[in-house]
Amino acid sequence: MRKEIKKVCKRIALAAAVFCAVITLGKSDVKAEEHQCGNLTIGQEKTVTLSSSSSQDNFYFHFTTPKSGSFRMSIILTEKRRKEDNSPVDSGYASVKATIDYKDIWETSPWLGHGTDTSPEYAYPAGKDCTFRINSLNDYYKYTFKIKVENVKYSNFEKEGNNFANAATKLKKNKTTDGILNKGDTDWYVFKAPKTGKYKFSIVDADTKDGGWVHCAAYKSKTKEDYGKSHTVWQGNGWYKINTLKLKKGKKYYLKITSSSREGIHYQIKVKKVK
């Protein structure tokens, strides 16, 4: 009798093992689908409803970086519904990642009912392709999002990519120039004296978010630093005087902005003729 019971138990255990193997095999065979969802138009909000077939699908949107100024992205998860009966649910999230030149520049996870997720400002050369990816969508539901890319415009903005002295953005006398510094970025500026005289160079961290800094170093030429004229420029500390010096007509003076403490630090530079 005991032998018969053992045989039955073995058969049940074997059947259970086979069933689990089949279920596992079925799940591992499901492949993520890559969905190309078209372009985002800067300045226009796009509403999309996405439905994943495997919970591993990726949904890609694209936009081109603007001709001038910076840009920022925003997304809100407005609705989540069951596929089987279209009934709403009150919780859920997705994963979002934005990429330029194979570099991830922004990641966020918008939650249903938690409002809009907005990126910092970014400054890139005009015409760059930015990939905006959404994933982590449960395959039992469909999700509705509102996505927007905004061009933040300034009257006198840095010209990207000014990452090297040879491509430095030109500074103008008695005009304020705005710039955005992102992680790992370097911004170069050059001023060419229109007349012989004394000029004052100043910089401010104009960010409205508390904390944060950039580093500013002055250069007598493309390669020769003006030692003693560098500053760590902190948010909330007002304008820093970089240097006041006499320049002959046609003489150039350079500024190098580096070491952003976080993404999207907004700073301003001005050059004033004082004598």
DSSP state of 229: -
pLDDT at 209: 84
Query: Each residue of 245-263: pLDDT tens digit?
Result: 999 999 999 999 999 999 9
The predicted-structure confidence for 13-69, as pLDDT tens digits, reads as follows: 444 443 333 333 344 455 779 999 999 999 999 999 999 998 899 999 999 999 999
Q: What is the pLDDT of residue 27?
A: 45
d(CA 110, CA 74) in angstroms, rounded, equals 10
Banded pLDDT at 211 (limits 50, 70, 90): confident
Determine whether 208 is exposed, middle or buried from the number of CB atoms within 10 Å of its CB (0-12, 13-18, 19+). exposed
Mean pLDDT of all residues in 192-199: 97
Q: What is the pTM of this model?
A: 0.85
Phi, psi (rounded to 5 degrees) for 200:
-110, 130
Could you report how far apart the first and last alpha carbons of the chain are, in Å?
111
pLDDT of 29? 54
Omega within 30 of 0 (cis) for the link into 161: yes
Q: How far apart (Å, rounded) are the C-alpha atoms in residues 6 and 142?
A: 48
User: Under CATH, which architecture does the 34-152 domain have?
Assistant: Sandwich (2.60)
**How far is residue 255's CA from residue 219's CA, in Å, rounded to a whole number?**
6
Query: Per-residue pLDDT tens for 67-83?
Result: 999 999 999 999 999 99
Residue 14: its H or E element = helix 2-28
What are the structural domain ranges in the chain?
A: 34-152, 165-273
CA distance 243 to 199: 8
User: Do the domains 34-152 and 165-273 sit in the same CATH topology, yes or no?
Assistant: yes
Dist. CA 242–CA 267, nearest whole Å? 14
> Fold for domain 165-273?
Jelly Rolls (2.60.120)
Phi-psi map region of 43: left, alpha, beta (phi>0 left; psi -120 to 50 alpha) = left
Query: pLDDT averaged over the chain?
Result: 91
Inter-residue contact 77 to 145 (CB < 8 Å): yes
pLDDT band, residue 175 (cuts 50/70/90): very high
Check residues 25 and 156 and name the one with the higher pLDDT.
Answer: 156
Q: Provide the 8-state DSSP code for 94.
A: -
User: Strand order in 240-247's β-sheet?
Assistant: 176-181, 265-273, 197-205, 240-247
